[in-house]
Amino acid sequence: MPQSSSDWQSTGPHQPDERSEDDRLPVGALVSYQQISLGMQIPGNYRWILYEDGRWFLARNSASYSGQKGDFESDLPTTPTRTLAPSVVREVEDQLRAADFLNLEEHHFDPTMQDGARVIVTARLDGRVHEVTFDGAYLPFVDYLRRFAGRHGADAR
């Protein structure tokens, strides 16, 4: 059953029962990434969540998905797609810190964008959760996060 991009974080079975004060990100999670097609190619939708202990969960729409824009065709998996090394988790955190993520405006928009993707990044740093939406306006750390799934989950479904 498809899930909308606005509610996926509160329904996935992979999440611990314990909730943080901020339900945008489960307890123990460092960052979540959602890429939602705004063009004709809905199958490009994918999302992942990385926990501080290295557990990484990835879900992608299949090439045959024909649901509504903004939907994901499946929940995140119940077991980690991969368990990543502490050095990888530190690298992701370093990228967020270098971008001064906690101080970014909540929405970045490129008014010239005619087709592309919405990227939603939610991260916890220093006990604070912050979420930023990018509509065609990408900063270097967003490109790093976009390539993350390709580097760590190329053969995962």
Count each helix (H run) and each strand (E run) in the chain, helices first: 2, 9
- Domain coordinates in residue numbering, the chain: 3-153
What pLDDT does residue 62 have?
A: 54
pTM: predicted TM-score of the whole model, two decimal places: 0.78
User: How far is residue 95 CA from its own chain's centroid?
Assistant: 14
Query: Could you say which DSSP state residue 76 is in?
Result: P
Q: How far is CA 27 from the centre of its chain?
A: 15
What is the CATH class of 3-153? Answer: alpha beta
CA angle 115, 120, 123 (to 5 degrees): 160
Using the CB atoms, write b or e for 37-61: b if 16+ within 10 Å. Answer: bbeeebebbbbbbbbbebbbbbbbb
Summarize pLDDT for 25-52 with one digit per residue, the tens.
999 999 999 988 777 655 567 889 999 9
Could you read off the pLDDT tens digit of each residue along the chain, which spans 157 residues? Answer: 333 333 333 233 344 334 445 678 999 999 999 988 777 655 567 889 999 999 999 987 655 555 555 566 577 899 999 999 999 999 999 999 999 999 999 998 877 777 778 899 999 999 999 999 998 777 888 999 988 888 886 544 4
End-to-end CA distance of the chain: 17
For residue 9, give the amino acid letter. Answer: Q
- pLDDT value, residue 156: 46
